[in-house]
Amino acid sequence: MTSHRGTTASVEEILTDIRAAGGRVTVPTRIVVEILAAGDHHLSADDLIAEFAERTPGVAPSTIY
């Protein structure tokens, strides 16, 4: 897996790394990566859940964890 620490990686690069590590890229995974990649500050789990809920209402918080 490519290290992205200290760099600005595109969403697609991160998703490629997830796939390369054997992970599945689901719609919720893509949304979480997009939220994290777009942010310029630390997000708490509650912040991430709130942002996710704005984009995809009705998804359980456990989906994000």
Measured CA to CA, the distance from residue 24 to residue 44 in angstroms comes to 23
pTM of the predicted model, to two decimals? Answer: 0.78
Q: Helix crossing, 27-38 with 45-55: angle to 10°?
A: 120
**For residue 7, what pLDDT is reported?**
53
**For residue 65, what pLDDT is reported?**
81
Over the chain (65 residues), what is each successive 10-residue block's mean pLDDT?
60 95 95 90 91 90 85
**For residue 3, what pLDDT is reported?**
53
**Helices marked H in 1-65 — which ranges?**
11-20, 27-38, 45-55, 61-64
**For residue 11, what pLDDT is reported?**
93
Cα–chain center distance at 4: 14
Please name the residue that has the structure tokens 């964890």.
Answer: 65
